[in-house]
Structure 1
Amino acid sequence: MRELFESTVERLLADLSTPEAVLDSEGGRWPASLWAAVEESGFALAAAPESSGGAGASWDDLFPVLLACGRHCAPLPLPEAILGNWLLGSAGLEAVGGPLSVAVDARLNWVDGMLSGSLGGVPWGRHVAHVVALVGNEVVLLSTESASTVNEGQNTAGEARDDLSFSGAAPIASAAAPAGLGADTLLQGAALLRAAQTAGALQAVLTMCIQHATERVQFGKPIGSFQAIGHQIAVLAEQVALATVTAEAACAEFAPLRIASAKVCSAEASGIAAGIAHAVHGAMGFTHEHRLHLSTRRLWAWRSEYGSAREWSQRIGRLTCAGGAAAFWPAITAGEFK
């Protein structure tokens, strides 16, 4: 299944998630044709169990999809739709077609069976039809049409991050979260999405740097042949490999230590990679016409979404202290505290 997902999503996004489409989305245009192709592919429903209308794909199966979304700067909430439908399916609810997002910052309260409050920083909130959130120990599905107000915002990459307010809104569906799925699960899932997307964006940055260093000639030879440039690209490659491996390990096993490690590694790699990439490209890389900024602005934006490197490092510290000295080395070798 993973190989099929990888080849299909790569072809789809390479054809439709072009720099022009990405820039159009930053101007506020919804990429309707791209979403239609993605929805037809079934990726948005893939993580939900078959009993809920999905394909029962694992996070490991879907890792190439998340990676490709980052590599091609996909201007749509496909990762969020995957997570939202996975959460709905985990609670025994039907998966939802159409544009779907998730809200980690949910400040909603039940009043006589209705929900009031706000959802903060909803990815693509103004464009999606539905949003999934955790309210107490319940998974809820809300229609964005029932929002009383939508305050539009965006991140550094120009991606929509909107605040939605609700007053006495009836959820489309709700169910108790299953055992083992706590209030922190949605945050961990969102952090996993960003870590995997960041790894994909880092891969794109590395590819652009290698291509530029090979083609750009100074003093009669490609700049990549200069030791200083070659060293910087080698450092960049190390960071890309680290971010990719930790994100893939987190997808292989959805576990707190692995997710925290992936988020920290991807966030740290983002700052290093963006600096190296723009140094290698020189003045050319700072122009709006060059596509480098599409990836580096997403690195800057995604590294802080759903917790900074410092916050996730603190989580790793707390997990380590709670596990105790005897569990430390087994956790390092297993990738999780058992």
Structure 2
Amino acid sequence: MNDITQMLISSTTKIMKDICTKELVNEAEQGRWAAELWDILADSGMITVAIPEELGGNGGSYTDALSILRLAGKYSAPIPLAETFLGNWLLADLGEQVSDEPLTVALPKSDEQFYFQKHGDEWIISGKARFVPWARYAKWMIVLGQSDVEPVLALVRPANGKIEYGQNLAGEARDTITFDDVLVTDCRVIPIEFERVINQLWYGGALIRSVMMAGALERILELTLTYSSERSQFGRPIHRFQAIQHQLALLAGETAAAGAAADYAIEAYQAGRLSKEIAMAKIRINEAAGTAAAMAHQVHGAIGFTYEHTLHQSTRRLWSWRDEFGTETEWGEQLADQMMTFAQDELWSFLTSK
């Protein structure tokens, strides 16, 4: 880890501790936009990390950006930081300018495809996107679709469509956006190679969720260690009991495994590989999420389920994020399909090489 990355981690940690409080997260779940958190990150130049300066970014590496995102996951930051990173990276890869405005990304559905029809200098847009993260707060939304002649990536304003509010288990905004032959002027429609871009979207999405989950697991471990050292029963802290120590050891192991998987995936992404490392990280971290959340709540007992405690802010996000950008079953099936095409002597190198 270089000095710049360490500085970003230090600065982001301070911002999250000062601004991203339990109260702010709770208020966001009730429908308030966390403007103060977004604005300070934007003013600090952290929204456009890993984007070349000539495209409107602040430079830096994917490792820098994902270090910031890991802390956003750790502190349950109720903003579309991950989606803005992912969307801006897609735009930058296409040579397009980016900004630090809130951005979201709609996953394409085969039965609800977007269509873009040229109408002079304007576009007529039709399509529906479901479960779009933070759409009600986003200034822009990236959608993949089809124009009259070719596949396209479009940057549209959600406000130009009909927005139906929704939430995931964590209380984060997951909205439905409908465009019904809407004529718009303020959008960018960019021709793309569809398979390449959808691959970037899925692998990049799996990576951002994996990194955020690794951060949330770190927070859960910290909360559980603190609680078990402060809570006393039968005259001594409960972390002195062997049964609790066993749970804490297992929780620490799952957190460490998730962190290692995330680091491995980040290294692959930084090297330009959209491949097994990211798929394996999503599988391993999803598994850790289910196990670790159950252990943490078992150690905390009833208090961990109360609204006043912060544990649920992290565990509910784990349960929500593990289903986004591919479950462990879906990524496992993809890896299995890939391995079924190998020659007899290729499996070992696939498992052990980078």
TM-score grouping bracket, smaller chain normalisation:
over 0.9
Find out whether 1:188 has 2:199 as its counterpart: no
| 2:96 counterpart residue number | 93
* Structure 1: segments with no counterpart, 5+ residues: none
Instruction: State the shift of 1:213 in Å.
Output: 1.2
* Alpha-carbon distance in 2 for matches of 1:38, 1:91: 25
Deviates more, 1:39-48 or 1:178-187: 178-187
Alignment match, 1:199: 214
Q: If the length of structure 2 is used for normalisation, what is the TM-score?
A: 0.90
Specify which of 265, 284, 291 is matched with residue 272 of structure 1.
291
Contact 1:105 1:121 in 2 (8 A): no
1-side partners of 2:82 and 2:199: how far apart? Answer: 18
Q: What residue ranges of structure 2 are gaps of 5+ in the alignment?
A: none
8 A contact 1:70–1:198 mirrored in 2: yes
Which residue is equivalent to 1:116? 126
Aligned to 1:127: 137
User: Which letter does structure 2 place at the counterpart of 1:224?
Assistant: H
Equivalent residue, structure 1, for 2:160: 146
- Distance in 2 (CA, whole Å) between partners of 1:101 and 1:261 is 25
- Flag the 1:327–1:227 CA change in 2: closer, same or farther, 3 A: same
Segment of structure 1 superposing worse, 323-332 or 254-263: 323-332
Aligned length: 334
- Could you give the per-residue CA deviations for residues 245-292 of structure 1, whole angstroms, max 9, x where no partner exists? 111211111222111111111111111011100100111111111111
Aligned counterpart in structure 2 of residue 70 of structure 1, from 60, 68, 73: 73
Tell me the TM-score normalised to structure 1 length.
Answer: 0.94
Change in Cα spacing, 1:242 to 1:324, as seen in structure 2 (3 Å) is farther
* Structure 1 residue 130: Cα displacement: 0.5
Cα gap change, 1:267 to 1:220, in 2 (>3 Å) = same
Secondary structure in 1 aligned to 2:156? strand
Runs of 4+ in 1 over 6 A off after TM superposition: none
Instruction: Tell me whether 161-170 or 296-305 shows the greater mean CA deviation.
Output: 161-170
Report whether the alignment pairs 1:159 with 2:172: yes
Q: Cα–Cα, structure 1 residues 80 and 3, in superposed 2: closer, same or farther, change >3 Å?
A: same
User: Relative to 1, partners in 2 of residues 1:229 and 1:169: Cα closer, same or farther, differing over 3 Å?
Assistant: farther
RMSD between aligned residues: 1.7
Q: Return the letter of the residue paired with 1:271.
A: G
Specify the alignment match of 1:256 in structure 2. 275
What is the aligned counterpart of 2:324 among 296, 305, 309? 305
Could you list the per-position Cα deviations for residues 300-325 of structure 1 after superposition, in whole angstroms to 9, with x for gaps in the alignment?
11111122111111112122223444
Measured in 2, the distance between the counterparts of 1:105 and 1:66 equals: 24
Q: For residue 51 of structure 1, report the CA deviation from its aligned partner.
A: 2.1
